[in-house]
Chains A and B, each alone.
Chain A
Amino acid sequence: MGSNFTDFGDLVLLIGDFHIPQRASEMPSCFQELLYPTDKIRHVLCTGNVGSKAVLEQLKALGNLHIVKGDMDTGFDFPETKVVHIGDFKVGLIHGHQVIPWGDREALSYWQRKLDCDVLVSGHTHKDSVAEVQGKFFINPGSATGAFQSFCNEVVPSFMLMAVQGPNIVLYVYQEKEGKASVVMSELTMKRDT
């Protein structure tokens, strides 16, 4: 983007668990149409398990890439966790296989406190979700390819986009349904320090 006006804040892509080519051949075409080419995204937060270098290169082309290591990312040199400042938020990033039991709220809260962040972004479960617990936000963008996950019966491909503006986030959740991208949105507002 050629300008740095504040109107739409920073656009942040949350995406991960591709498993290309091990468990999936590619992203749904409706997702590809939305993401390539676009120059609007500032940051890409990837929860890991890209599967191949090609996917990594594609992510780098989208924006500033922040990526953490998934359990299948052998051979890649990614950190276990990462914390990024976006808007007024401190966003923590972790793949999620370290969170035991997987996807458990209590266990996620432990990592949120450990990373001292306002928003914890994690993946691994292949099921998108967003929740607020005691003033902190827990976001899981799911799997961009809808790749198979042993403990999940039916995986819906998904990714997310956040428009971050000061203490506000407008969160867009993209899911593939019958070959089309369906989008739902919600708003997150940060606790104000008094």
Chain B
Amino acid sequence: MAFSGRAGGQQAFPASHSLARLQAFVESLQAGRNAVSSAAAEKLEVAVSLLTMPGTLSLEQVRSVCFYGLPDVTPLRKIYWMILLGVLSPHTERWPDELRSTRDKYEGYINDCIDPNIMQKAQVGGPRDANAASAHSIREGRASLSESRPASDHPLNRDRQGAWHRLFEGSELFGTIVKDVSRTRTDLAFFRSESWSLPDSQGSANGGSDAAADGHTAAGTSAAATSNGAASGPGPVSFVERLTRPSSHVDRMSRILFVYARLNPALGYIQGMNELLAVLYFVVHSDPLAHDEDPLLLEAEAFFLFVTLMVHQRDFFLALDGRSSATLDDTLEQYAGLLHQRDPQLAQHLDHMHIEPHLYMLRWLLLGFSQDMELPNVIRIWDTILADNPIAIPDIDTSLQTLPTAFYIAVAVLRVPELRSQLLSLHDREEVLRTIQHFPMHDIQQILSEATQIRSDDIVARRERHDRRQQYPRNLERRPTWEKAKRVGEKIIGTLFRG
């Protein structure tokens, strides 16, 4: 069963589209022309057939397929992640529309956040008649001085709405982002590649779609480039130009973060976001045939994956900023309890060193372990993290709700024998922290299966606790009150006698 068929002729995907390609892949798989190992083939067939089943997808099934790791067949992962994060709905027949609106919305955001004519606006004062004269003399190659006129805006204007102010602000923001993005995952050629595409094969397709995307944009900036005589040569470039006509993956990733920061001024751009985006961006683009697709659509997909991921990561970024939330504090406390249960010796050792969980957990949570592993492992671990999203599972009783999977993974990491024995042998706080933070996580499968075990044990424990509470609710309520009263009483007696 093919989804583009169900979607109807009018909404059919272009031949190069990822969904259409996936469909073609399914057909070739069914025809038995793909030579893959039997276990992998089975996994693949499950993952693919789930997506191609008629009707509405079961999110539960999507989650369970993803939880145990997706087969590395593109663009399968991208589609699964988009469903899990809610960029695509479970209604497959709506996907063509949803993808189209993703692209349109993103294009709208770009136009809202990046004003290609901002430089001209900044320098427009009163009537521009004088400028006509200067344009004339530029052609003549003569020096010229225009008539002076009242300036509606100027570089020292503090008005936040002023074009100059926005120009300074934008340039500073983009400069910060580009600096971080161009240092992200430079071990992979993909992120180092200067140009977005191969020079000849791509030129027309890419240029075409971008010109359509930017419209007046392109005209505006090219006019500016010719008028000041500084054509697009090597060396320093205009940031507005880079934002309106991105020419590399670095430019496109930077644009995503720029637009996000502009749309979320309360959070803005924070270092670390570049690491998260890099994983998503790579998954969207790691399709060998992706370069046939509309680059703006791919960028929009990465943008919305990032935006939806950030809904969950927001708390961690705020905590990094010293604005910790009660939920996060509570979760970290639960995690500490879990570690004590699972490995009392190690937990006590860490307590003894005054290593509170947030010291190392925050970074892991914030970056989704993306700085501690090779990219393929990060992607594998994210399959599990994204699939088990406790926020997505509504639960009436919060005591039953499990911790986010990253916490179980964290316990599993600390339980890796090499790391554990090393930690137990160290007695210097700084050294322990450094060891935790620089531990190379290689054996991802072992970590994940341990994490899964810890998680299911925790589910059992939580259920038992829950059942006990249901059975003896009054008992449980009374005990803490009594103990508290006793403590208070002892305290009073203590002060009386000391006095």
Chain A residues with a Cβ under 8 A of chain B = 1-8, 11, 33-35, 38, 40, 130-132, 135-137, 161, 163, 165-168, 170, 172-174, 182-192, 194
Contacts of B270 in A (CB 8 A): none
Query: A27 → chain B, closest Cβ, in Å?
Result: 13
A187 touches B146 (CB 8 A): yes
Whether a CB of chain A sits under 8 angstroms from the CB of B359 is: no
Complex Cα distance, B151 from A183, in Å, reads 6
Given contacts A40-B168, A185-B151, contact A5 B239 (CB under 8 A): yes
Whether a CB of chain A sits under 8 angstroms from the CB of B496 is: no
Supply 22 A–B pairs (Cβ within 8 Å), ascending by A: A3-B171, A3-B178, A5-B171, A7-B171, A8-B119, A38-B156, A40-B156, A132-B144, A136-B143, A163-B123, A172-B155, A173-B148, A183-B150, A185-B149, A185-B150, A186-B148, A187-B131, A188-B143, A188-B146, A189-B137, A191-B142, A192-B229
CB-contacts of B92-146 with A (<8 A): 118-119, 122-123, 125, 130-131, 134, 137-138, 141-146
User: Nearest CB to that of B235 among chain A residues?
Assistant: A6
Which of A7, A33, A173, A174 has the largest number of chain B CB atoms within 10 A?
A7
A34 touches B156 (CB 8 A): yes
Q: Which of A40, A165, A184, A194 contacts B148 (CB 8 A)?
A: A184
B228 touches A165 (CB 8 A): yes
A2 touches B143 (CB 8 A): no
A1 touches B172 (CB 8 A): yes
Chain B residues with a Cβ under 8 A of chain A = 118-119, 122-123, 125, 130-131, 134, 137-138, 141-151, 154-156, 158, 164, 167-168, 171-172, 174-176, 178, 228-230, 236-240, 242
Complex Cα distance, B237 from A33, in Å, reads 32
Contacts of B237 in A (CB 8 A): 5-6
Contacts of B144 in A (CB 8 A): 132, 187-189
A130 touches B171 (CB 8 A): no
User: Nearest CB to that of A7 among chain B residues?
Assistant: B238
Contacts of A190 in B (CB 8 A): 143
B175 touches A5 (CB 8 A): yes
Query: A85 → chain B, closest Cβ, in Å?
Result: 16
Known: A135-B142, A189-B144, A192-B229. 20 other contacts (CB 8 A): A2-B172, A3-B178, A4-B175, A5-B174, A5-B236, A6-B237, A6-B238, A7-B240, A8-B122, A130-B145, A131-B145, A135-B143, A137-B145, A163-B155, A166-B230, A184-B125, A187-B123, A189-B138, A190-B143, A192-B141
Contacts of B240 in A (CB 8 A): 7
Question: Which A-B residue pairs are the 4 nearest by beta carbons?
Answer: A3-B175, A132-B145, A185-B151, A5-B239
Which of A1, A135, A186, A188 has the largest number of chain B CB atoms within 10 A?
A186
Complex Cα distance, B145 from A188, in Å, reads 5
Which of A161, A173, A182, A187 has the largest number of chain B CB atoms within 10 A?
A187
Complex Cα distance, B140 from A191, in Å, reads 9
Contacts of B148 in A (CB 8 A): 130, 173, 184-186
Contacts of B156 in A (CB 8 A): 34-35, 38, 40, 161, 174
Given contacts A3-B172, A5-B239, A40-B168, contact A186 B155 (CB under 8 A): no
Contacts of A172 in B (CB 8 A): 151, 154-155
Complex Cα distance, B118 from A136, in Å, reads 29
Query: B220 → chain A, closest Cβ, in Å?
Result: 13
Q: How many A-B residue pairs have CB under 8 A?
A: 128
B143 touches A3 (CB 8 A): no
Complex Cα distance, B142 from A182, in Å, reads 30
Contacts of A189 in B (CB 8 A): 134, 137-138, 143-145
A186 touches B138 (CB 8 A): no
Which of B131, B156, B164 has the largest number of chain A CB atoms within 10 A?
B156
Contacts of A40 in B (CB 8 A): 155-156, 168
Query: B178 → chain A, closest Cβ, in Å?
Result: 8
Given contacts A172-B151, A184-B151, contact A166 B143 (CB under 8 A): no
Contacts of B147 in A (CB 8 A): 186
Complex Cα distance, B179 from A4, in Å, reads 11
A5 touches B143 (CB 8 A): no
Which of A161, A188, A192 has the largest number of chain B CB atoms within 10 A?
A192
A186 touches B238 (CB 8 A): no
Complex Cα distance, B143 from A176, in Å, reads 30
B172 touches A186 (CB 8 A): no
Complex Cα distance, B172 from A194, in Å, reads 37
Contacts of B176 in A (CB 8 A): 2-3
Given contacts A4-B236, A183-B154, A185-B151, contact A165 B230 (CB under 8 A): yes
Query: B257 → chain A, closest Cβ, in Å?
Result: 15
Contacts of B158 in A (CB 8 A): 33-34
Complex Cα distance, B231 from A166, in Å, reads 11
Contacts of B122 in A (CB 8 A): 8
Complex Cα distance, B240 from A189, in Å, reads 23
Contacts of B130 in A (CB 8 A): 186-187
Query: A158 → chain B, closest Cβ, in Å?
Result: 13
A166 touches B145 (CB 8 A): no
Query: B147 → chain A, closest Cβ, in Å?
Result: 7
Q: Which of B151, B175, B236 contacts A6 (CB 8 A)?
A: B236
Contacts of A130 in B (CB 8 A): 145, 148
Q: Which of B119, B123, B134, B155 contacts A11 (CB 8 A)?
A: B155
Query: A167 → chain B, closest Cβ, in Å?
Result: 6
Q: Which of A33, A131, A166, A191 contacts B228 (CB 8 A)?
A: A166
Given contacts A161-B155, A161-B156, A194-B141, contact A186 B149 (CB under 8 A): yes
Complex Cα distance, B122 from A172, in Å, reads 12
Contacts of B119 in A (CB 8 A): 7-8
Contacts of A166 in B (CB 8 A): 228-230
B238 touches A191 (CB 8 A): no
Contacts of A174 in B (CB 8 A): 154, 156
User: Nearest CB to that of A88 among chain B residues?
Assistant: B229
